A and B are shown apart, each in its own frame.
Chain A
Amino acid sequence: MATAPGPVSALQATLAAENAAVYGYGVAGAHLTGSSLAQAEQDWTAHNQARDTLTAMISARGAAPVAAQAYYQMPFRVHDAASAVRLAAYLEDGVTRAYLGLVAVNDQRLRRFGALAMQQAALRAAAWRGSTQAFPGLGGSVPAGPGEATRRSS
């Protein structure tokens, strides 16, 4: 059966973000101790499970899941607990953005799946950052988009 490219490419992008998060938490965890390390391990497990779920979803659509890279360039030098915590928040922001991409597809179940998954990532990001954001996944650049919802016949 032919598969629409939109959902699969959005799923692949999300899987790539999860792969990066799995790797990144390994880097962060090496600099954490105590409750922070326990939290990182819990989040790492959540990302592993999400990776497996996404892999299965992509395979079920007849596509080959994107493979994890052997090495990921970190966005900044991670050398202590503070930078490890910043990395964890950074990783969760990336995952949140990726799931937001799923919300844009026309498949309603994928939209809902993406929206709920991004809530989990936003919660983890807020926990690492110690503060909430007005627009998780959209960052500071929220398109105004006037005319998005205009008058038309239902």
Chain B
Amino acid sequence: MLFASAAALPLLLGTAGCRSSDAFTGPDPLAGRPPLGRDVLTLQAVIAAEENLIGLYQAAIRGGAGNGGAAGAGARTLQTLLSQHQQHLVQLKARLVVPPGASASPSPSASGTGGAAASPGPGRVDVARLRAAERASAAGLVQRLASVPPALAQLFASIAASDATHVTVLGG
């Protein structure tokens, strides 16, 4: 019986007069994927917000001084801040373990709250928009501290502090 195959297990349990879920105290392994944990959803949302922020910086830098898209900050400064956001993204993604069969992309509901930066969308990205996005990101990260484990909370808080310094660099 110790070597019964997985395919035979439901049959054996059925013969014994019990459902598979009665045999375990934990999640039913035959009932499909369990829902993602709250901290995973939170991390996915933060990753999506960071990606949006990076998109904003890239759009601002692409806009350049020619059309005034990044006027007032300097291309080099924006590159430095962009680089720090890319470092944030690397660390955030390193914390995420994507379950087999699950999508690595956050669900819409996971990214809908907490001050996530807006998608770049059409139009010019100026310094004021970057500043507002940085401010929203810092606030959103602090808001999410309660729903994650301590080490992840510290990473969120550190990134939020970095974002807060970016606001000042951008003239806030």
Contacts and interface: CB of A to CB of B under 8 A. Distances in A.
Interface of A: 96, 100, 103-106, 108, 111-112, 114-116, 118-119, 121-123, 126-127, 131-138, 142-154
Interface in B137-163: 138, 141-142, 145-146, 148-162
Interface of B: 27, 33-40, 42-43, 80-81, 83-84, 87-88, 91, 94-97, 99, 102, 138, 141-142, 145-146, 148-162, 164-166, 168-169
A25 B145 CA distance: 31
A132 B142 contact: no
B154 A151 contact: no
Contacts of A145: 94-95, 151-152, 155
Given A119-B161, A151-B37, A138 B154 contact: yes
A122 B35 contact: no
A138 B165 contact: no
A151 B97 contact: yes
Contacts of A115: 141-142, 145, 153, 156-157, 160-161
A126 B84 CA distance: 14
Given A111-B146, A142-B158, 11 more contacts: A103-B153, A115-B160, A122-B165, A136-B162, A137-B158, A144-B91, A148-B43, A148-B95, A149-B40, A149-B148, A152-B37
